[in-house]
Structure 1
Amino acid sequence: MRRALSALLAVGLACAAVALQNTHWSYTRAYGPFVKNGRVGQAITEPLFTIRVEPVEAARTILVPATSYSKPQEIPANGVFIVVIATVEARRSPIYAGQARLHTRYGDYSPTDKFGGGGGLTTPVVTPLSYVRFQPGMPRRGAYVFDVPREAVTGARLYVSDHDAEEAQFGFYRNDPRRFADEVHVDLGLDTREAARLTRTAAAGYSVPEPS
């Protein structure tokens, strides 16, 4: 009888442990980033910024204009350039919304660095939204540009974060600014048919719009 009760108690404790683990928040869920989902054409508002994404475009090559030091040139994609046109506005204080990623079934892709300059110290010849500092009351329209394999386009989503760490200036969190950040996940509407159409009609000599 005592053995049966011990076995029953062990089973009960095991079930309780599983239930507790299932209800326990993961580290990411507890500390962020805090995600808001949206879709193309919808204004998505976070505490520090608002973003509205337009229909996605694609390019096989992108035209980089001439500078004082270089001639105009066409930059080819390794796969295909996915150009996400968006309007971003800071809400309370100046921010960067440059921590953008294209989330695909093959992993996350950062904005391409093929446009010269950049490196965090200088502005590239073609200026993506990744380099823009947004001011409250001054929406800016521009592009995030990603170079991805053609087979990665289907189902791709845009992730944009302010990566604000002002509320995490303690302990190891200050070295991990994604914690407590606000992040927008945008469904780009790239189902199988739309992804095939987009890659098939990708433009040559595409001119990336400058932030305006």
Structure 2
Amino acid sequence: MMRWLGRLAALLVAALLLLAMQWTTPLYDEMIAAIPSGGQIGDTVAARKFTIRIETIQFARQLRFEAYGKEEVRDTSGLWAIVTATLAARSETMTVNDAYWEGPTGLLYSHSNRLSGVRPLLAGALLQPGLPRRGWFIFEIREDQARGATFVAPNAGLIPLDSIVRVRLGTGGDGALPILDSLDLDRTPGTIE
């Protein structure tokens, strides 16, 4: 009888250990997830292949710019978020194809593809080592996603176990959000062509 109780106790302990291992073992997606590198506005944040420094953020309800010889106007029912940044490749030629605005509730907004012809866009720009490039990532977001947001690049879903930058874009704050009615991108200072 004692031998039978000893075997039953050993079996229960083994079952509990296996159950604990199952509950505490991360999922496969978590094990190969991107390695975050974080910072805030003004910091130079380094990923494995590039560095980024976010300088300013502007919000506008309308964008104006000249493209292909004529003036273009883009309206939105939300806000345009214009992120001025400097990107630099670290050791090899590369592009940062994806960038995201992650709102405070976790909503992800990809950079806008409605701005064809704007010259200093950084999404998809070719980066050469030792030649930093300054320009914009422009997002079309809901107004309630402007405060407490995070800039995320590149798309972590494409390269397992690679690095990803996460830059906090300011604190929540209670004051009025500085929103321009219209922003002329051709007259916005700070970009190099």
TM range, smaller chain: 0.7 to 0.9
Moved more, 1-10 or 149-158: 1-10
Q: Give the alignment partner of residue 131 of structure 2, picking from 126, 134, 138.
A: 138
Shift of 1:152: 1.6
Where structure 1 has 5 or more consecutive residues not aligned to the other structure, the ranges are 117-123, 164-175
**Distance of 1:155 and 1:13 partners within structure 2:** 46
Shift of 1:7: 6.5
Alignment of structure 1 residues 50-129 onto 2, 5 Å: 50-68=51-69, 71-104=70-103, 105-116=105-116, 124-129=117-122
Deviation by residue 1:96-120 (Cα, 9 ceiling, x = unmatched): 112101112252110111113xxxx
Q: Give the alignment partner of residue 145 of structure 2, picking from 152, 156, 160.
A: 152
Q: Secondary structure at the match of 1:115?
A: coil
Moved segments of 4+, more than 6 Å: none
Shift of 1:136: 0.3
Equivalent position of 1:17 in the other structure: 18
Contact kept, 8 Å, 1:60 with 1:81, in 2: the verdict is yes
Kindly tell me the number of residue pairs found equivalent between the two proteins. 187
Contact kept, 8 Å, 2:89 with 2:128, in 1: the verdict is yes
Task: Give TM-score, length-normalised by structure 2.
Answer: 0.82
Structure of larger gyration radius? 2
Q: Which has the higher helix share?
A: 1
CA 1:211–1:29 in structure 2 vs 1: closer, same or farther (change >3 Å)?
A: farther
Deviation by residue 1:40-98 (Cα, 9 ceiling, x = unmatched): 11111122111111132111111121424xx3132112200111111110010011112
CA RMSD of superposed structures (Å): 2.6
Q: Give the alignment partner of residue 187 of structure 1, picking from 168, 187, 190.
A: 168
CA 1:92–1:150 in structure 2 vs 1: closer, same or farther (change >3 Å)?
A: same
Identity %: 24
Task: Give TM-score, length-normalised by structure 1.
Answer: 0.76
CA 1:136–1:77 in structure 2 vs 1: closer, same or farther (change >3 Å)?
A: same
Q: Which has the higher strand share?
A: 2
Shift of 1:9: 3.8
